[in-house]
Chains A and B, each alone.
Chain A
Amino acid sequence: MRLNEYTKKALVLITAASMCIGSFTACGSDKGSSDKKDNKSSESSDSNKSAEDDKSYKPAKEIVEAMASSVNTLPELKYVEYADESAQDTFESLCDIDYSLVKDFCIAYSIDTESPAEEILVIRLSSEEEAKENVSMLDERIDRRKKMFMNYKPEFIPIINKAKTDYDGSYLYLIISADSEVISRAFDNSVE
C-alpha cells in the first residue's frame, strides 16, 4: 500500500515524538542512579554515626569481668565475646535472640565440670525497647538449663533457682550463680 504524503508526515512526527519521550526517560534513570549514589553516601554516614554510638557504650566483656570479680565464689570461667570467631555460633547455642539485633555480647561460663552451672551473660541490643522485648528469651534459657540439671545433676537446681535476668537501657543480662544478687548489683554499677 502506498502511503500518501499526509500519512508519511504523520508517521515522521510520531516517531520523533517517541524519541523525545525516550530521551526524557533515560534522564529519569540517570537521576535514579544518582539517587542511589546519594543513598550509599548517606548509608556510609549512618554506619559512621553507628560506630561512634558504639564507642559510647561500655564493652560487654568489661561489664562481665566487673560482675565476675564482684564475688569470689565462682569456679574457673571461660569468656566468649562478640569479636571472637565463633561468637555467632556460640550465641545462637545460648538463646533464641535474633543475632542480627546484637550489637555486643560476652558470656563467662564455668569450665569446672564439678561445678558446671555458673554463667554470666551480658548482651547489648540497639535500644531499651529491644532489650525489654527480648529479656524473656533469657528466661527461656534458664528453663532449659533447669531441665538439663533436673535430669542429670539435680544437686545444682538450688543454684539455677537463684538465676536472675533483667535489662537496663539497651543491655540485658543473665546470671546463674548462688550469688546472683550480688553480681547483679555489680552490673548496675557498671552500666551507670
Chain B
Amino acid sequence: MKKIVLGIALGVVAVALMVCAGVGIAMAKSTMKKLDSMQDLCQSMENGVGDLQDKNKELIAYVDEVKAEAEKGDEAEFVTIAGQYEIRDTSAISDAYKSGNTDGLTANEKETLKLAEKVLNEVTKPEMSNYEKELAIFTWIKKNVKHDEGALLAVVDPNVNTYTPYGVLMGKQAVCVGYATTFKLFMNMIGLDCMVMHNTDLYHSWDLVKLDDGEWYLCDLYMDGCGTTPTYNNFNCNSTQFLSGHDWDQDLYPVANGIKYNYANMNAKESTIEQMLAKIKAQMKVKKTNAAYYRLPAGTDAKYISQLASGIQERMNGRIGEGNFETNLTVDENGRYILGALFNYYEYEEPSETQLDADLEKLLNDTFGEVKSDYDHYEEDYCG
C-alpha cells in the first residue's frame, strides 16, 4: 500500500514536474518571443530615432537657413545710416492696412497709417495699375517732401524726425532714410515687395521695388531731380544705371534687371546721334532742371556710345560746371542703347565780374577781349 501511495506520489510529483517543465518551457518560449519582439521594438525605435535624428538635422539646417536669411535681411535692410538714422520695419503698418485690423499697432503706428492712407486716397485710384500707383506715389513724395538740409549741420536737432514715415509725413522733410522707408511703406500698402538698400559705407539709402513683371527696379527719391522737382532719372532704374552713382554690396540684394517698367525705356524717344546732340543743346537752353531719354539706332557700337557719353559729360562740366549735368546708359529689350541726359540747372551761377575802373577795363578788354562766361561762349558758337 505504502508503495502504491509512494508510487502515486512520485507520479504526481513527476507529472507536476513535467507540467512545470512544460510551463517553464512555454514561459521560456513566450519570454523568448517577447524578447524577440522587444528586440524588434528596440530596433524599430532605433530606426525611428535615426529617422528623427535625420529629420532633426533637416530641421536644424532649415532653421539655420531661415536664420541666415533673416540675418542677411537685417544686414541688408535694418541698419543705421550715418551713425544716427535707424531704418525701422514698417511691415506692421502695411499689414494692418491690408487686413483692416489695427489692434496690434502702437499709437504712433496708427497715426502713421492714417497719414499714409490719406495720401494713397488722394493720389491713387483702384483702377490704376501698380506701376501707375508707384509713379503717382513717387511723384507725390518728391513734390511734397523736401530735403532736411539741417541734417548736414555739425549738431543735428534731436527733436526733428525726418527719418521715419511718421516724421516725414508730419513734417514734410526727409533725409534719405525718411524717403526710402516712406516709399517702402507705400509700396507694401499697395501690395508690392520693396526693400530699403544702403551703400557700403552706410551713409545713404534708397529703394528696390518688385513690380508686376516679377523684376526688381531701383528708386532713389533723395537723389532724383532737384529739390522738389522730380525728373525720374532715379525712378525705376536698373543696376547698370545706378552703379554710376551708387555702390552697394551686391550679395545682399536681388539684381535690378527689369526692362518693362524701366523709366528710361518707357519714355525714350527714337533718335539718331546727330538728332540727340541737337536736342541736348536745346535742353541746355531750357535753363531749368530737366531730363530726356534718347533711343539710339540698332547696332550702335558699345564703345562708341560710351565714348560719346563721356565726351558730352566733359563738355558740359566745362560749360555749366560739374554736378549740373549727368548721363546714364541702359539697353532696351531689343539691345538698343538708351542715353539719358539730365540737367540740374539750379546749381549754376553766372560768374561774377570784378568791378574795374573804366580805363583799366578798356585796357584789359583791348588786350584780352571782353570777359565772357564759358556758357555764353558755348551758346554763341554752338547753339546759334
Contacts and interface: CB of A to CB of B under 8 A. Distances in A.
Interface of A: 78, 80, 89-90, 93-94, 107, 109-111, 113, 116-117, 119, 144-145, 147-155, 176
Contact of B152 (A78, A107, A153, A176): A153
Given A147-B203, A148-B82, A94 B155 contact: yes
B156 A93 contact: yes
B155 A116 contact: no
30 contacts: A89-B158, A90-B155, A93-B155, A93-B158, A94-B154, A94-B155, A107-B155, A109-B153, A109-B155, A110-B153, A111-B153, A113-B149, A113-B150, A113-B153, A116-B149, A116-B152, A116-B153, A117-B152, A119-B154, A144-B82, A144-B83, A147-B201, A148-B82, A148-B203, A150-B203, A151-B203, A151-B204, A152-B204, A154-B323, A155-B323
Given A93-B84, A147-B201, A147-B203, A152 B154 contact: no
Nearest to A145: B154
A119 B199 CA distance: 27
A119 B158 CA distance: 18
Interface string B193-232: 0000001010110000000000000000000000000000
B interface residue count range (under 10 / 10 to 19 / 20 to 34 / 35 or more): 10 to 19
A37 B153 CA distance: 49
Contacts of A116: 149, 152-154
Contacts of B199: 151
B146 to A, nearest CB: 11
Interface of B is mostly: loop
A176 B152 CA distance: 13
Interface in B306-338: 323
Nearest to B148: A113
Nearest to A113: B149
Nearest to B82: A148
Contacts of A153: 152
Given A93-B158, A107-B154, A155-B323, 19 more contacts: A89-B158, A93-B84, A93-B156, A109-B153, A109-B154, A110-B154, A111-B153, A113-B150, A113-B153, A116-B152, A119-B154, A144-B83, A145-B154, A147-B201, A148-B203, A151-B199, A151-B203, A152-B204, A176-B154
